Every structure is written in structure tokens, then in C-alpha cells.
Chains A and B, each alone.
Chain A
């Protein structure tokens, strides 16, 4: 991986990725690609993006040495990249700002987006408020129940939240509806996709905007330690925080990349969201990627305590990194994530998002297997305020939130 230039010109990462969308959207995705390539080379655009990340989001985020957690794990040093400290409480805002600026540049004043946990919806609604864009968010009915507070936040920010009742009423169905809406309103609307998935150029655009996470981490770690960490860990739903973290490290072959999927009730049960571990390649939402599907190619519902990981697919670039062996993918159960949620809260005074708690749970295990003095960075992708209610009811008996 000393050179890494993916995706190729047609938007493929090896066999993965591509543009498997209805013809109605081809013009829009090609225009988006052209607009992005221009913006990428435009210093003024990049400066605008950097400016908002600094002044509005509050970047750079700290790289925090979690000493207590390190002692608890009893092995490698654990650093946390504090994406939870971003404005709106998660990494999602990085991409939302980038794409919203791109939409404005393309003359599109209407934004449509999907959301699972509500973090991407809140980030999108936030940046739409800031830039005075019309905003419509599709969200599964199930997720609306699980994340009522985020729904209210989005509405406060001026967005219209549309409840999706088709299919399993979760993230994948919200993507379906957002895509249908986009197909019908493609002339004046930008689809602000929230993860490294969908048709090319989305996986590339989202990765690039999120790669500020890994770029900062790499610099911060080098400044502090004069070398690179042995391991980098991030949770994976669609995979945007992980891709943002991994991408700047891909060429550093000595750095092991670990993605952590949601094992839900366990990967031996039908109730999980471990697309890379248990899925097989297929086509959904515009891309060829690892997918949870039955023997007839019907997409299966994903299950996780964390709404943000509850997606049956995973970005095409992760699919490629898995097959190429450059990154390793593991999974963490609901139960393990809940424990990590509490451990990090108690030991470090940091309440993580349930999504990020999956990464923390895996990091604790991994650190114990590594040598003291070795180092790992965990992407703490979001804060846990949104999950406190769900965790409370779960800990006090009952599985009310699945």
C-alpha cells in the first residue's frame, strides 16, 4: 500500500463501489463528481471549509491520552481522538459542512439527507441553518422512537423530519426514501449522504471530508511521540469515522487498522450488523459492497443497540480494505458495548456514544493483547448524551430499545 490512489476513475475500489443508481440520478452524480473535483483543487473552497471547521466546529479536536483506561486494559497506551467534542457532538459535522458548501457552490439550496441515530441529521440540519438551506431529513420510524431528542433538535434547527415506515423502518429504509426523494427532486436538491457509502463520488467525498480526523491524529501523535501508533481503532456502521481515521494512515503499513462492527446479540445469531464479518458482496444504495443478505439476495435487517451502526451494508472502501488485508474488521456485541460505555464514563469521565463504545470495547481487548509501551488511537466518534436514556432503560431491565 505504498501507493494508494483509489477509487479509480470510474469510482471503483477493486470490485467494490461504482455507480449502481437509476439513470435519473446519473447526471446528478456526474455533476457532483465534476463539482467536487473543481472544489478540491480550489484553494478558496478549501479555506472556507477549514475556516468553518476551526471557528464553527471547534477543530482541531484533542488527542487525549486515556491513562485510566490504559491502566484498566493493562497493555498498550490508549489515546482517544475526541470527535465527541465537535460542535453537535460527533464527527458527522465534518462531512455535513463540506457537502453543504459543495451544494451551495453547485447552486443547490435544498438538502435532503438520511439519518440513523440522528447524529448525521442533526449535523445536516445544523449546517443548513448556518448556510440558510432548506433541509429535509428522512428517518426510520423505529429510529425516531429511539432518538426522540435528536428529532426535536433537528426540528429546532429548522429541518423537516420525515418518518419512514417502509421496510424495517431503520437507516437503510431512510436511505431508500431519501434516494426516491432525490430521484424526484434532483434538479434543485443535493443529497447530503452521511457516510462513506452510496454511488461514486459519495464514498470518496465523505472520506475526504472526514479525513481531517486521521490527518490531525497523525500529526498530533507524531508531535507528541515522534513516531506513529501501532494501531488505530474505529467503529463501523457505514464507516465514515473509520474511513476518515484510516485514510491518512493507509500508506503507513506499520500502523494496523482495526474496524469494529456491531455484533448485536452475537454474530452467531441473526441479530447483528456485522456486514464485513458475516455478509457477502452485493449491490445496494448505489454501490457494490459487503451486505447482509439472504440466500436470494434480499437485504436483511441489521440489529444493534446503537442506531448509528444499524445498517446492513458497509462502505465500498472498507469492503476493499478487508479483502486486500490492509484493515482488519472485528465485532463487538451490544452487551460488550454497554460495558465499555460505563467503563469509559466511570474511568475517564467521558460518556461515549454507543457507536463509539463499540470501538472502546474492542480497544480494551486489543490493548491487553499488545505490549505496554505500544500505542493505539481510538476514534471516539461521538458523545453519549443521546444514548443515556436508552442505556438507562436497558440497564434497568428490559430491551426496550430494539
Chain B
């Protein structure tokens, strides 16, 4: 069984919710990646989403854009990230999910990328600029390697399409909570809960909400309708400030919130 599936099974058994922090690999230097992954595991993450910096991140808001620019200035690249992740794999037990735009993968070579990701112990991959219609470019390789392609749905995705995407199901369904880019937000559109409910009804795989989630109240509200959340910009910010104390506090509050539901 894949680590992602296992993680969700364990959560279901205790009626818990997944909490998936996102970090930008190479922000603060690639050498601290392993240590940060260990920290996040220690603080109770269900899985970790590791961002690969890209020069033109069209799905990302200012916080993650800036983190990506810092990482690129540090000379971060996909090859080196995979090397670090293979080191991390011996020390970190929870699932590791790469989030990368397609071009760094394409440039490395799709076969080579999938092989190296698999041997680095990467469990899943989120590719924000790869909709269902284009996924044949990499899906056969992923299937062969047992790396899960994590697909996205958004509030603009029609229900029939949500059904289609989720039924291809691997890992979990990444449900984008906003019409827009990543980044912390004060509040969500009114229709969001209904949207999440619909997705949850339709999807045969766990539903995880992401984009714009940054506080306890949002998480408490959203997890009523789904199986977990991704928190990105907030975590990236705390790491950028190197504020580990606040990170620990934030994560323990989140864990409590997720467990309470």
C-alpha cells in the first residue's frame, strides 16, 4: 500500500483529518530541507507537500512566488531536490508529495524524473499546470512507478468533471478552495462549503482542501466538509522568518482543531 493511502486509512480509523503543510524546497538553502521535513513530521503533519521553485509560477500568489525566487537565487533545482528527498526518506516516515510545474520535469526528462522521484521515495506529485486532458504525457510512467498523480479540482470545475477527475483517483483529490492563486486569505466565497460538500459526495478518494487556508477557524470550518487541508503560504512565511516556535504553536493548534472534528 502506498504511504498516502496508508496515512488516510489511519486517519479514518481515528476519525482524524489530514494536515498537509507546504514548504518551498531551497528557500533558506536546500541543506535545511531534510531538517524541516523532520520538524514538520515531529509537529504532527500527515504528509508534506514539497514545492519545486519555478521561474513562472502562474498558480501562485506573492508569498510562494517570493519563496520560489529566493530558492532559485540559492541555486535550487529539481535534480538536487530529489537527492535531498532521498536522504530525507530514511528519516521521515510520512508521505512526501512533490508540487512542481511541468517544465522542470519536462526539462529533466519525464522518464528520468519519474525514476528518480520513485527511488527518492516520493509518494505523489502535484502538477498545477497539467489538467486531465494533458496527463498522458506522464501518467503511464507514474502508474508504472507507483507514484500517485494528485489531481486538482476547483470551484470552476463542473460536477461531471469533478466526478471524472476523482474517479481516476489516486492519492487524494486536491480541492482548490478559491477561484484564484495561492496565498493567505481572510475569508472564502459563500458557496465554498456547498462546493466542498459536492466534491466530497462525488469523490471516491479523500478530499483535501487547499489554497488560501491560513488559520484555525478556516480549518475548523472546512474540515467539516472534507478530509484534510493543505496550508502553504502561512508555513512558508513562518519558515522564511525562521520562527520555529510559532510554527510549532500553529501546528499544534491545527492538530487539535483537526482532531476535534
| Residue B131 CB within 8 A of the other chain | yes
The answer to whether B77 and A22 touch across the interface, beta carbons within 8 angstroms, is no
Q: Which residues of A contact B165 (CB under 8 A)?
A: 23
Q: What is the interface size of chain A, counting residues whose CB is below 8 A from a CB of the partner?
A: 39
Q: Is the CB of A296 within 8 A of B107?
A: yes
In chain B, residues 47-74, which have Cβ atoms closer than 8 Å to a Cβ of chain A? 54-59, 61, 65, 72
Check B157 for interface membership: any CB of A closer than 8 A: yes
User: What does the 1/0 interface line of B176-212 toward A look like (CB < 8 Å)?
Assistant: 1011110000000000000000000000000000000
Report how many A-B pairs have Cβ atoms within 8 Å. Answer: 120
Partner of A24, one of B101, B107, B151, B179: B179
**Interface residue ranges of A269-314 to B (CB < 8 Å):** 280-286, 288, 291, 293, 295-299
User: B99-126: contact bitstring with A at CB < 8 Å (1 yes, 0 no)?
Assistant: 0011111111000000000000000000
| Chain B contact surface mostly | loop
**Option from A10, A27, A187, A298 in Cβ contact (under 8 Å) with B55:** A298
Interface magnitude class on chain B? 35 or more
- Could you give, for residues 1-40 of chain A, a 1 whenever the CB lies within 8 Å of some chain B CB and a 0 otherwise? 0000000001000000011111111111000000000000
Does A183 sit within 8 A of B, measured CB to CB?
yes
Report A351-386 residues with CB < 8 Å from chain B CB: none
A19 in contact with B133 (CB, 8 Å): yes
Q: Which residue of B lies closest to A173 (CB)?
A: B56
Kindly state whether residue A346 has any CB partner on chain B within 8 Å.
Answer: no
Q: Which residues of A contact B56 (CB under 8 A)?
A: 167, 172-173, 176, 284-285, 299
CB-nearest residue of chain A relative to B80? A296
Contact assessment for B58 and A183 in the assembled complex, using a CB-CB cutoff below 8 Å? yes
- Verify A295–B107 contact, CB threshold 8 A: yes
With beta carbons under 8 angstroms apart, the residue of B55, B108, B176, B180 that contacts A167 is B55
A284 to chain B, nearest CB (A): 6
Bound CA span A285–B107, Å: 16
In the complex, residue of chain A having the shortest beta-carbon distance to the beta carbon of B66: A166
Q: List 20 A-B contacts (CB under 8 A).
A: A20-B131, A22-B131, A23-B153, A23-B165, A24-B155, A24-B179, A26-B131, A183-B179, A184-B180, A186-B179, A280-B107, A283-B101, A283-B106, A284-B56, A293-B103, A293-B107, A296-B79, A296-B107, A297-B103, A297-B108
Cβ-closest 3 pairs across A and B: A297-B107, A184-B180, A296-B77
